[in-house]
A and B are shown apart, each in its own frame.
Chain A
Amino acid sequence: MTSEFAVELRDVVKRFITPEGNEMAAVDHVTMQIKNGEFFSMLGSSGCGKTTSLRMVAGFEWPTEGEVYIEGKAMGHTPPFQRKVNTVFQSYALFQHMTVFQNLAFGLEMEGAKEAEIKKRVGRALEMVQLTGMDRRKPKQLSGGQQQRVALARALVKTPDVLLLDEPLGALDLKLRKEMQLELKALQQQLGITFIYVTHDQEEALTMSDRIAVMSKGKIQQLGTPVEVYERPSNKFVADFIGESNFLEGKIKSISGNEASVFVPGLNAEVTGTPISEGLVKGEEVTICIRPEKIHIADREAVQQNMFRASVTNTVYIGVDTKVFVDAHGVKLKVWEQNRISRLDPKSFYTVGQEVWLMLMPENTLVLKKD
């Protein structure tokens, strides 16, 4: 491999003309570097530019500005059939008039491979996705999960440097999707090729990726490892999009290195947290973000900072944990409490109206720039 990066997007812009005649940037000055052998995900809701970015790597779209590099080579207007990347489509796009074997052989025929070689490689690819013996079936005779595997095998049989996956598991039911997530990850590690994975499912991205680019409105909001984007969301959007968060509005009273003291008018109290955004200054209006599972409920006041009184407004039992909704001086917060103890005894639940103490750990209380 000639380049450190399998794929690189340098300041890429893609503009479309909407049917109303307006210009719209689907991808707006995106730069990312995807390392060789990396499982890289682009995560965002529909219209965030993730699929358009992927399509520009595949060659189905060309950037309006900027450049896409594959293995260090500028792609320019190189057509898809001359790029050494392959795609697994959301709709699978299996050729309905061909058998499974013919679908897999198609890409190899285009390379001019000999019949014996095609047979060998198709056989191996089918084995890899556990579809041996299905080669004579037509796509319509397969289940959704099997079709998904055929689509995967059809792309992998070409032994691409980079595999592009556009929401490949979207059409599968939850259980199958979870199985396939682990299988895909295992396959990627086994083959050692670069995967670029587009999804709107945050859990899927967190499960599989080495790094995630969280996208919104054509821009990258944050690029980092799953732990980074979850534990240290760089802005309110990321904190809100990935997982769930409580947000508190406040003003910085004092700030020093890795600790900031924020006055939250809603709580009528000072909250100590960790400054995340760059360049926060004293007196600045900020947003405090705290994950619901990181709030601790105590039933009596201990002598500690970051403790607030609140009353329980509702509890919802969902098996793995209990969602407790509380009201602290008019500020509504959600708290996920893991069900470490059995909840068979109704007394183990908080009752509506019960007074509790909330405890926030400063390292989990993130101070972000206000949007």
Chain B
Amino acid sequence: MNPFRRSPFVIAAAILVYTFLYAPIIGLILYSFNASRANVTFEGFIPSFSERVVMEGSLVKSAPCGPFHWYCDLAKNDDVAEAAGNTLTIAFTATIIATTIGTMAALALQRYNFKMKPFSQLALYIPIVIPEIVMGIGILTLFSQFFGWINETLNLSGDARLSLGMATVTMSHIAFMVPFVTLVVQARLQGFDKSYEEAAMDLGANEWTTFRRVTFPMIVPGIMSGALLAFTLSLDDFVITFFTNGPGSTTLPIYVYGLLRRIITPQVNALSTVWIMIVFTAVLLLQILQSRDSKQHS
């Protein structure tokens, strides 16, 4: 038995830490049911259902969806739907590309010895440690210079002109995701024994078949955790997206930021709650899958 297990100090510390972590989230979810439009203090739940929204000052007295008024309000908001669509499109595309590149980089770094290896390794850490805002400005400068130059040279006009949008956001996301994926996959590859690949080749498989049938299936959990990390980073990225987005490529974080600048209604909380639920379910599913996988293997 661990002698520290029942120490009241440990219990108190645990309660404190968890409160600090989860109180804001619980508060946020609670406020998504707030009757007050101003959303500064909690004025209780919306008490009843009605055909139309009945307001009394800034308080909602009754609504078609009752306590879920802000969720219904959210559902009718096309801008949110568009922003959510953009966010997911960018996250999926960028994750797939960044995971591919990152995995290849990790395999190369783990497997081969080359002159620039220490430099390559170090260079991977730089994007992780430099402030995001620096990277955001850097990417913006690069794009505007490059696009300006192309637009000039090819004499493009109107819609044909290259400008910031979905593509630039996706590319910038790939740029900051690759190091994370590489590091996560690399960590998982540490324990990968080269003899598995040698065994496959020994049994008659060429390089590609060896990768497809042996290496890839064995490192897939590592790739998945790298991809998941990249995906969540993309979902909630604000700073870099802020610099690289353009018309029609508003993502949810950018949209929420826009809402906050005008007025904070419980709709923002409803949106956040939905968001949290989605992410939570995804992580839970992944956990279940992974634990089932490891049970099978042990």
A contact residues vs B (CB 8 Å cutoff): 58-60, 79-81, 85-87, 89-91, 93-97, 106-107, 110-111, 138, 140, 154-155, 158
Per-position 1/0 for B190-226, Cβ under 8 A of A? 0001011011111111100100011001100000000
Determine whether the beta carbon of A93 is less than 8 Å from that of B198.
yes
Interface extent on B, as a size class? 20 to 34
The answer for the CA separation of A118 and B202 in the assembled complex, in Å, is 18
Determine whether the beta carbon of B195 is less than 8 Å from that of A93.
yes
Determine whether the beta carbon of B193 is less than 8 Å from that of A154.
no
Using A91-B195, A106-B213 as known contacts, say yes or no to A80 and B296 having CB atoms under 8 A apart: no
Q: Is B76 an interface residue (CB 8 A)?
A: no
Using A110-B204, A110-B205 as known contacts, say yes or no to A95 and B199 having CB atoms under 8 A apart: yes
Determine whether the beta carbon of B199 is less than 8 Å from that of A93.
yes
B contact residues vs A (CB 8 Å cutoff): 193, 195-196, 198-206, 209, 213-214, 217-218, 296-298
Residues of the A chain whose Cβ atoms lie less than 8 Å from the Cβ of B200: 95, 106
Determine whether the beta carbon of A95 is less than 8 Å from that of B214.
yes
B96–chain A nearest beta-carbon distance, Å? 22
The answer for the CA separation of A154 and B218 in the assembled complex, in Å, is 19
Task: Name the residue on B nearest A151 (C-beta).
Answer: B199
B111–chain A nearest beta-carbon distance, Å? 14
B262–chain A nearest beta-carbon distance, Å? 53
Determine whether the beta carbon of A110 is less than 8 Å from that of B199.
no
Residues of the B chain whose Cβ atoms lie less than 8 Å from the Cβ of A59: 201-202
B44–chain A nearest beta-carbon distance, Å? 55
B110–chain A nearest beta-carbon distance, Å? 16
Using A81-B204, A81-B205, A107-B204 as known contacts, say yes or no to A87 and B296 having CB atoms under 8 A apart: no
What does DSSP make chain B's interface, helix, strand, loop or mixed?
Answer: helix
Residues of the B chain whose Cβ atoms lie less than 8 Å from the Cβ of A95: 196, 199-200, 214, 218
Residues of the B chain whose Cβ atoms lie less than 8 Å from the Cβ of A81: 201-206
B46–chain A nearest beta-carbon distance, Å? 52
The answer for the CA separation of A94 and B297 in the assembled complex, in Å, is 13
Determine whether the beta carbon of B205 is less than 8 Å from that of A106.
yes
Among B195, B217, B296, point to the contact of A89 (Cβ < 8 A): B195
The answer for the CA separation of A94 and B214 in the assembled complex, in Å, is 10
The answer for the CA separation of A58 and B202 in the assembled complex, in Å, is 7
Task: Name the residue on A nearest B297 (C-beta).
Answer: A140
Determine whether the beta carbon of B204 is less than 8 Å from that of A79.
no
Residues of the A chain whose Cβ atoms lie less than 8 Å from the Cβ of B203: 81, 86, 106-107, 110, 154-155, 158
Among B201, B213, B218, point to the contact of A79 (Cβ < 8 A): B201
Among A80, A90, A140, point to the contact of B201 (Cβ < 8 A): A80
Task: Name the residue on A nearest B195 (C-beta).
Answer: A93
Using A86-B203, A110-B209 as known contacts, say yes or no to A80 and B214 having CB atoms under 8 A apart: no
Determine whether the beta carbon of A87 is less than 8 Å from that of B297.
no
A/B interface sample: 24 pairs, CB < 8 A: A79-B201, A80-B198, A80-B201, A80-B202, A81-B201, A81-B203, A87-B202, A89-B195, A89-B198, A91-B195, A93-B193, A93-B195, A93-B196, A93-B198, A97-B218, A106-B205, A106-B213, A110-B209, A138-B297, A140-B297, A140-B298, A155-B202, A155-B203, A158-B203
Residues of the A chain whose Cβ atoms lie less than 8 Å from the Cβ of B217: 97
Using A95-B214, A110-B209 as known contacts, say yes or no to A158 and B195 having CB atoms under 8 A apart: no
Which of B193, B213, B217 counts the most A-chain CB atoms under 10 A from its CB?
B213
Among B196, B202, B209, B213, point to the contact of A86 (Cβ < 8 A): B202
The answer for the CA separation of A79 and B202 in the assembled complex, in Å, is 9
Determine whether the beta carbon of A138 is less than 8 Å from that of B296.
yes
Task: Name the residue on A nearest B209 (C-beta).
Answer: A110
A10–chain B nearest beta-carbon distance, Å? 23
The answer for the CA separation of A206 and B205 in the assembled complex, in Å, is 35
Determine whether the beta carbon of B199 is less than 8 Å from that of A96.
no
Determine whether the beta carbon of B198 is less than 8 Å from that of A87.
yes
